[in-house]
Amino acid sequence: MFGKKTQPPIKSLIAQGTRIEGNMKFKEGLRIDGEVFGDIQASPEENGSLLVISEAAVVQGSIQADHVIVNGTVRGPVHARELLELQPKARIEGDVSYVALEMHQGATICGQLRPLMTGVSEEEKPLLKLAAKSA
């Protein structure tokens, strides 16, 4: 409805009080309430992967998924192949790449923002035009 894709179901949970050390790969949806010290990657073959990092969660490593929602702490680069949502308590220490970005007041990023252009060549990028106040 209204052009929004349905989100994949969250089938995996890393509960608060759980600490994982090592790299992870997942399909569909993953929610993290605990701590992960390693890289997290959604399967690129799957369309519509969802990663949710809750307010209490801490991730130290790189993140790669289609749709990433952050409300906790991430120390490492974040690569959202579609949408990156930063909730009010999101803290990211690392570079961020995304196709679309939604950032709520209070969220912070200490790193570079790199929008990903999907299917747009250098020649097709719109020119930046400044509006001047006429006298």
Q: How does DSSP assign 26-42, residue by residue?
A: ESSEEEESSEEES-EEE
Q: Residue 18 has which token pair?
A: 């759980």
97: in domain: yes
Domain range for 97: 10-117
Query: Is position 128 within any domain?
Result: no
At 131, the pLDDT band (50, 70, 90 cuts) reads very low
pLDDT at 122 over 90: no
Max Cα separation, the chain? Answer: 64
Domain count, the chain: 1
Residue 123 belongs to a domain: no
Q: Is residue 89 part of a domain?
A: yes
The DSSP bridge partners found for residue 97 are 79, 114
**Do the domain assignments include residue 46?**
yes
Q: b/e map of 16-47 (b: 16 or more CB within 10 Å)? A: eeeeeeeebebebbbbbbbbbeebbbbeeeee
Any domain includes 33: yes
Is 132 contained in some domain? Answer: no
Segment 83-119, tens digit of pLDDT: 999 999 999 999 999 999 999 999 999 999 999 886 5
**Does 5 fall in a domain?**
no
